[in-house]
Structure 1
């Protein structure tokens, strides 16, 4: 091989490498969407497993970073301090966060799922009704959706919150306390409810039917939402598509979600049957219902000031 050909060859190879690098750079995400999620948020877990949001956002120049939290209150704290851009939580965490001054928007919600949260007791417990909880220790995640459920279900059965002893624990610690009989009952949401039923024979004392809607909300950090409405809409488009696929393919979805949730497939499938997975903008009725929850917490002095849910609702919608 001649010296001139060798030089030309090295030049061509170098040029090709530079071209490949330039192409890769052009295709690389320029920005990042940080999604706060909980293992119990089955649709987001499915989207994470399938990489569907990444595919939706790639044409917009956005990559995705997934940030896991044990429950809604901790996720809202992450949203408030700027470690995530959007998240998915139950009814109560946004109210506590808004009362604490967090800047976020409600950007959408899933339909009511009252069967997906419940008060459970050990299978051989002497507790036969909600009224029997008087004087008992009840585990719950403070500031979560089940906090409101417990308040309202006690009220419905002639009890006040002060009639029970709340034991504030995140789900994993609450499960341990429940199994070891350090608490008498546990107020919890799916898939943890389904896991307790299937794995340790927990008995559902009452679910939220007729007491609380148990809406799930999508939230976004205000500045991010205002600057990137196209990203929010792309995420929701994907959530609608994946939600419909999930409901039409429950067993297959459970197979994909179970390893990430660390739960048996039959537990995940039971949990999936209790949710609707159909994201939509907040209606006036849903805003009003969320406001009633906020007002209840304020009346009970669980939050330091009144909040306006409407003021925190994204006007542009999805």
Structure 2
């Protein structure tokens, strides 16, 4: 299937998934009623009496949109990181970047450093992500060479160390309710979605897509190696610095609103790459669409799978992603024999 056809299929799938996500839950509503409520609110009409308008517009629509934005952002950041390190098995979670962003965000929450706003939380998460990415990259580049395996191992080791620091901060909080909410958030959760919380990812994700799409040629060249990319006229150093900032900023914005969600940034770009190849002009928008569809569906499952409580999003993505990673590793190691 051509990339344009696949994009159309994913766009339709996203629309269906969003409709189901808003209509299904403890109180199920017909899709027609859902779209009627959305149409009335977009037209500026006053909400009608009853629970329908409240459930649809104030609770489920923001959450469904946040899931789509987070999934799209994870798809984008995974695609960019895999090109940056020339490793299709890389993602912000495995490289420890998500752990750095989580540490920054949790520090802001526990220590009260600008955690009262989504922007302050995103800034703290961005700082943690950027510092962690730079540290992992420096360790992987020791000796002047570049070894993708060393990069992943350094990311895993540094990520575990930062996770330990995050756990210490959580235990130090002293507020049982705050501790429970932070721990649940660290496993990935979209339960706190509000219209206000959508502001940062609604700006960050489209901006990252535009910026990365403008660098698609450079991303394609990076896959060929630094010397080849430089020979094609790409300023490799400048492009890498830009990618460091964009991916760290996007990771921070996503972690601040959803917690650390594992494996989505690994699974989605790799699957899209198998379908449309390595050309980032096609790969970036398809990864964004694919990530959005996956996260909306996963969040719907997390809300409806259990009657008594809600599953953390990270639990389901880990159950999906860990076997996927093992499969990809087996294929990669098998091809090297």
- Whether these two folds match at TM > 0.5 is no
Higher relative strand content: 1
Higher relative helix content: 2
- Answer 1 or 2: higher relative contact order, Cα 8 Å, separation at least 6: 2
Q: Which has the larger radius of gyration?
A: 1
TM-score (norm 2): 0.25
